[in-house]
């Protein structure tokens, strides 16, 4: 099953129906294009910026590859923030950003490389 094909599909013992309807929530790709992370890879800091003027950052989580929350930030509803990455070990992390209208961006990757 690939794409958005409407119809009924059967898998082993259960049945699911896929309808051709539009979602009321924002598409992750649409939110993804509104977020800028730099520099990436990061040495000492990471700038997080929402390019949309109507969105503000409510919460940011830095998550390691094992799913553990390493850092959590709750800025004062701003559209940009500079995060300190000095306490992070070299590696790949995921950043999860929640906006003030409760839209969530997950699985955006950041790299911390203090010696490159």
**Domain edges within the chain:** 23-112
In contact, 111 and 94? CB cutoff 8 Å? no
The pTM score is 0.68
The CATH T-level fold of domain 23-112 is: Immunoglobulin-like (2.60.40)
Whole-angstrom distance, CA of residue 43 vs CA of residue 50: 21
The whole-number pLDDT of residue 84 equals 94
pLDDT along the chain (116 residues), means of 10: 59 52 47 78 92 86 94 91 93 93 85 80
The whole-number pLDDT of residue 73 equals 94
């Amino acid at each position: 099953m690939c794409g958005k094909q409407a119809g009924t599909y059967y898998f082993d013992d259960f049945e699911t129906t896929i309808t051709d309807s539009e979602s009321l929530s924002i598409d992750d790709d649409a939110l993804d294009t509104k977020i800028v992370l730099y520099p990436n890879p990061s040495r000492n800091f990471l700038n997080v910026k929402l390019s949309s003027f109507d969105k503000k950052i409510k919460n940011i989580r830095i998550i390691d590859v094992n799913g553990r929350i390493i850092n959590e930030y709750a800025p004062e509803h701003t559209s940009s923030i500079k995060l300190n990455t000095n306490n992070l070990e070299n590696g790949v992390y995921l950043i999860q950003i929640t906006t003030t209208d409760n839209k969530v961006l997950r699985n955006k990757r950041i790299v911390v490389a203090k010696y490159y």
